[in-house]
Chain A
Amino acid sequence: MATTSPTETTETTELPILERPVPHIIAHAARRDPSGWTSYFTTTDHKKIGILYLYTVLVFFVLGGIEALLMRLQLGTPENSFLTPEIYNQLFTMHGTTMIFLVIVPVWAGFANYLLPLMIGARDVAFPRLNAWSYWMFLFGGLALYASFFFSPPEAGWFSYVPLSTKEYTPSNGQEAWIYMVHLTGLSSIIGAINFIATIHNMRAPGMGWGRMPLFVWTILIYAYLIMLALTSLTATVTMLLLDRNFGTNFFDPNEGGSALLWQHLFWFFGHPEVYILVLPAFGVFSEVLPVFARKPIFGYKAIAAATAGIAFLGVLVWAHHMFSTPMSTVVLAFFMLSSFLIAVPTGVKIFNWIATLWRGTVEYRVALIYCVGGIFTFLMGGITGIFLAVFPIDWQLTDTYFVVAHFHYTAFGASAFAMVAALYFWFPKMSGRMLNEALGKVSFAFFFVGFHVTFLIQHSAGLDGMPRRIYEYSPESGWQLYNLISTVGAFLIALGVLLTVVNLVRSLKKGTVAGPDPWKANTLEWFTPSPPPENNFDVVPRVRSVEPMKDIRRQVEQQTGVVQQYESGKPLLRR
C-alpha cells in the first residue's frame, strides 16, 4: 500500500480529531425537504417513519412502565387493597401486551427503518408507501388496545389462555380489543418484515456481499424472517379465538370436541420465536456498538452471523418448553428440553465473541457502550436461569412462579431494553444532529442498572419460595413480604433511570452539542451521511470493501491528504 509523506498539515493534526477535515458527502437535495409536523402524516421517508415509530414506542413504553409501577405498588405490602383483582388482572394483561407488541417489536422496526437503508447504502426501503402503511397500522393497533381503557380492558393475560379468554369466562369486549390489536400490529409487522427482507436482499451498496453486511442488518434480516413465520401463525390463532367468541365455532372448547391445549401450542409456536424477535436485534446493537468503542473489529463476524441464524432456526423448535407442566408425554418433554439446551450454544458463542471483542481493545466508557455491557451482563444471567427452566423436572417447580418472571425480564429487559437505550445514545446524534449528554446518561444508566437488579434478582427468590405469578395479593404468613418490598423499591429506581433518559432526550434535542456526521468515528455507512441525513441519504454511494467501510474511507483520506483520521486512544474526540 502506498504511503504518503506528511504534507504541510501539522497545524490541523494538532486539532482534536473531530475538528479535522472529515470524509463525507455533502448532499444537494433537488428540492427542499418537506418539514413541519404535517410532513409526518404524509411522509414515506424511511427516516421520518423510523422517528414516528420511536416516539410512539416511547409513549407506549412509559404507559407500560406506569402499569408495572401500579402492580409493584399493589404487591409492596401483603393483603394490599390499593387495586382490585379485576384492575390488577387488567394491568398485567396490558403491561405484557404493551411491552411485547407495542414496545419491543416496533422499537426494532423503528431503528431498522431509520438505519437499515443508511447502513446498506440505499436511498430508502424497497416499498416506501407500504412502509408508511405499516407504521399507521401499528399506531392504530395500539390505539385500539388502549381505547379499551374507556370501557373494559382485557384481563386474560397477554397470552390469553383459553378457556379463560372465551366468552363464557371473559365476557368483556376488552378481549376483542386485544384480538384486533394483534391483527393490526401483526399485519404491520408482517408487511414491515417483507419490506426489510426485500430491501436487504436487493438494495445493498455495490461491494456489500453477505459477508460484509453490518451485523445489525443481519439480525434485522433474521428478525424479519421470524416475524413472517411467527406473526402469521399468531394472527390466524387469534382469529380462531375471535370466531370461537363471536361466531359459534369450537376450536378451543373441550365440551364440543375442541382442545384447550391447542391454543397453548399455537400461541407458543408464535411466542417463542417472538422471544428471539425481541432479542436478536438487541444482539445486533451489541455487535455494532462494542467494536466502535473497543476500537477493534468485531471478533468472529461469521460466527456471530451464523449464530444469529442458528438461534432463529432452533428458536422455532422450542415452543413447548413454555408448557412443561401441561399433559404431555415424556418423549415430548425430553425433545423440547434438548432443543432448548441446544439454543444455549449459539447464544453462548455470541457472548464469548462480544467479550473477545472487548479483549485487548481500548474500551471507551461511552454511555452507549456501558448500556451494551450492562445488557450483556444482565442477559448472561437470564440465559443461565434459562438452563434451569429448560430442565423440565426443575421447570415443574419453577414455572408460573416469580422465578420465571425474573428470568424473562433478565432476557427481554436485560437484552432488549438495555440495547434499546444503547441504540438511542449511539444513533441519536445521527437522527437529530446533536449529542445526548454523556454525564446524565451515565447517571441514568446507574439507576437503570441498579434498579433493574434490585427489582428482578430478588424475584428469583420469591419464586423459589413458592410465590406464583399473576396473584394480586398474598397473605402475611406466606413470608413473601420482604422480596416484594425490595422489588417494588427497585421498580421505582428503574422509573427514575427512564425519566432521566427522557429528560436528556428532550434537553439534547435543542441544547445538545452539534454532532457532525461521524461523532464516534464509527464503522458503518450511516456515518458517511450528514447528521441528520438528507431525504435521499446518499448523493454518492461508496463502494464497500469490508465490514467496516468507514474505516476504509478514513484510511483512504489519510493516505491521500496525510491528515490523521483514525481515532487515537485516550485523546478526546472534541475540544472541551
Chain B
Amino acid sequence: MPKPSVPRMPKPSVPRMLGLPVARGLAAAVVGLALAPAAAHAGWLFPEKGGSPNADRIWTLYLLIFILATIVFVGVGGALLWAMVKFRARRGQVAAQIHGNTRLEIGWTVGAFLILVFITVFTFVTLPGIKNPPASDIDENGNPVAASANPLYASTDQPPPPAGTPSLNLRVDGQQYVWRYQYPEQDDTRVFSYVDMVVPVGITVTLDITADDVAHSWWIPKLGGKMDALPGYTNKTWFKIPLDAIAEGERQVVYDGQCAELCGRNHANMVARVIGMRLPDYEAWVQDKAAEIEQAQEQAAQTREQLLGGDE
C-alpha cells in the first residue's frame, strides 16, 4: 500500500487503545459472574437440568462458556459503542490516518485462538461424563451401591454402561406423531408403551433411538441433550434419574418433552413423558403392563378366530 501523504499521526499506544474497554469488560464480567448463579434456575439464561447427570454436566459446560461469552461480548461490544461515542465527529478534529498495526493484529488473532483452545480442553474434559453411561446407583435388589469411578473416555460411539451393575436398555421408536417404547422381554411377553416411558430411578437407562417413517428427535430437556431418530439408523443416549428425584410421599417424578425435529403437520403435538418410579413400583408396573398386553393379545386372537371361523 502506498504511504499516505497526510501528516503521520503518532502511533496509537495499545494499552491506551484497549485499556478502558477491557477494564469495563472485566468489571461487567465480575457482575455477570455474581449474577450467574442467582439466575441459574430461571430458565431465561440457562438450559434445563436436574433429571440426569449428563444434563447437569452440559449445564456446567454451558455455564463456563456463558461466562467467557459475557466477558467477550461486553469487552468487544463495549469497545464498539465506546468508539462510536468517543470518536464522533466534532469540528476541527482530524481522523488519525492509521492503516494497521501488525503487532496488535497478531495479538488479537492469537488471543481469540487461545480462548478457543481453552474451551476445547474444557469440553473434552467434561465430555466422558456427558457421553458415556455411568454405573447405576442401586443394584438389582434396590440397594445403593458405592459410587464407581467414571469410565474411560471412548472415542467412538456410546459404550455400554460398566458391567456388573444393572441397567435398563429401551428401544425408542419415533412414529408420526407418537413415541413408542420397547422394554426388555418379560417371560416371553414383549412389553411396550406409548407416550409415557416408565423407568426406575437410580438405574442407568440407555436408549436405542430409531424412527419408523420420517425423522424425529428425542428430547426431554431435564434428562440431557436431544438425539435424532432417523429411519435406517440407531442413535444412542442415556440418562439416570437421581434416587432423590422423587419427593417424599410421592410415587413418581415426571419429566416432559416433545419431538424436536420437524416430522409433519402434527409435529407440535408429538409429546413424550418420562416417569421415574422407585424400583419396586417400576417392577410392579412392568408386571401389570405385561399382563395387560398378554390379555389384550389373547382377546385379539379369540376375536380373530371367531371372525374367521364364522366366515368359513
Show the binding face of A for B, using Cβ within 8 Å.
Answer: 1, 85-86, 89, 155-157, 161-164, 169, 211-212, 254-255, 259-261, 294-297, 299-303, 323, 325-327, 329-331, 334, 337-338, 341-342, 344-345, 348-349, 351-356, 358-365, 373, 376-377, 380-381, 384-385, 387-388, 391, 393-401, 461, 464-466, 468-474, 479, 545-547, 555, 569-571
Contact = CB atoms under 8 A, between A and B. Distances in A.
17 contacts: A85-B267, A164-B263, A255-B232, A259-B232, A261-B232, A331-B155, A334-B124, A349-B105, A352-B105, A356-B101, A361-B96, A362-B93, A384-B73, A394-B47, A464-B45, A471-B268, A472-B268
Nearest to A348: B112
Contacts of B61: 391, 393-394
Contact of A342 (B2, B116, B123, B228): B116
A161 B215 contact: yes
B130 A377 contact: no
Contacts of B93: 362, 569-570
A171 to B, nearest CB: 12
Interface in B151-205: 154-157, 176
Nearest to A93: B262
A387 B119 contact: yes
A360 B95 contact: yes
Interface stretch (B136-144, B218-226, B279-287, B301-309): B218-226
Given A1-B5, A164-B263, A359-B12, A397 B221 contact: yes
Contact of A464 (B43, B96, B231): B43
B236 to A, nearest CB: 8
B99 A325 contact: no
Contacts of A212: 1
A461 B231 contact: no
Given A299-B100, A387-B119, A569-B91, A89 B265 contact: yes
Nearest to B261: A400
A156 to B, nearest CB: 8
Given A261-B233, A362-B94, A468 B260 contact: yes
Contact of A359 (B17, B81, B154): B17
Contacts of B225: 325, 393, 395-397
Given A325-B225, A393-B123, A364 B230 contact: no
B234 A345 contact: no
B87 A325 contact: no
Interface string B1-38: 11011000100100001000000000000000000000
B47 A85 contact: no
Across chains A and B, which 6 residue pairs bring their CB atoms closest together, nearest first?
A396-B225, A254-B232, A570-B91, A471-B268, A358-B83, A360-B96
B69 A384 contact: yes
A83 to B, nearest CB: 11
A398 B83 contact: no
Interface string B26-68: 0000000000000000011111100000010110011001100
Contact of A211 (B1, B9, B88, B215): B1
B44 A341 contact: no
A521 B166 CA distance: 76
B87 A361 contact: yes
Contacts of B224: 396-397
Contact of B90 (A362, A401, A546): A362
A461 B39 CA distance: 12
B79 to A, nearest CB: 5
B97 A393 contact: no
Nearest to B110: A345
A255 B230 CA distance: 12
Given A260-B231, A299-B98, A466-B48, A570 B80 contact: no
Which of A360, A362, A479, A569 is packed against the most chain B CB atoms within 10 Å? A360
B76 A355 contact: yes
A300 B109 CA distance: 12
Given A464-B48, A569-B94, A380 B73 contact: yes
A549 to B, nearest CB: 11
Contacts of A300: 99-101, 105
Contacts of A157: 262
B159 to A, nearest CB: 10
B84 to A, nearest CB: 6
Contacts of A163: 213-215, 231
A254 to B, nearest CB: 3
B212 to A, nearest CB: 10
Given A169-B214, A380-B77, A164 B44 contact: no
Contacts of B273: none
Given A325-B228, A468-B258, A330 B105 contact: no
B233 A296 contact: no
A311 to B, nearest CB: 13
Contacts of B55: 397
A545 B5 CA distance: 12
Contacts of A86: 265
B227 interface: yes
Contact of A470 (B80, B92, B96, B262): B262
A157 B91 CA distance: 54
B87 A260 contact: no
Contact of A355 (B1, B83, B112, B233): B83
A30 B104 CA distance: 52
A556 B79 CA distance: 36
Nearest to B225: A396
A487 to B, nearest CB: 14
B126 to A, nearest CB: 7
Contact of A377 (B57, B81, B113): B81
Contacts of A569: 89-95
A400 B260 contact: yes
Contacts of B77: 377, 380-381
Contacts of B234: 327
Contacts of A211: 1
A571 B94 CA distance: 12
A396 B81 contact: no
Contacts of B1: 211-212, 301, 546-547
A300 B108 CA distance: 12
B28 to A, nearest CB: 14
Nearest to A361: B95
A358 B265 CA distance: 49
B211 to A, nearest CB: 9
Nearest to B236: A327
Given A355-B79, A464-B47, A468-B258, A327 B233 contact: yes
Given A399-B226, A569-B94, A394 B58 contact: yes
B274 interface: no
Given A161-B262, A337-B123, A569-B93, A388 B62 contact: yes
A388 B98 contact: no
B289 interface: no
A564 to B, nearest CB: 13
A164 B262 contact: yes
Given A212-B1, A400-B219, A472-B268, 19 more contacts: A161-B215, A163-B214, A254-B232, A260-B230, A261-B230, A295-B89, A303-B100, A325-B226, A325-B227, A327-B234, A330-B127, A361-B96, A364-B89, A380-B73, A396-B225, A400-B260, A466-B219, A547-B1, A569-B89
Interface string B256-298: 0111111111111000000000000000000000000000000
Nearest to B116: A341
Contacts of B109: 345, 348-349
A349 B108 contact: yes
Contacts of A394: 47, 58, 61-62, 65
Contacts of B262: 89, 156-157, 161, 164, 469-470
Contacts of B228: 323, 325-327
Contacts of A376: 80
A377 B80 contact: yes
B72 interface: yes
A327 B235 contact: yes
Given A362-B89, A391-B123, A470-B267, A260 B233 contact: yes
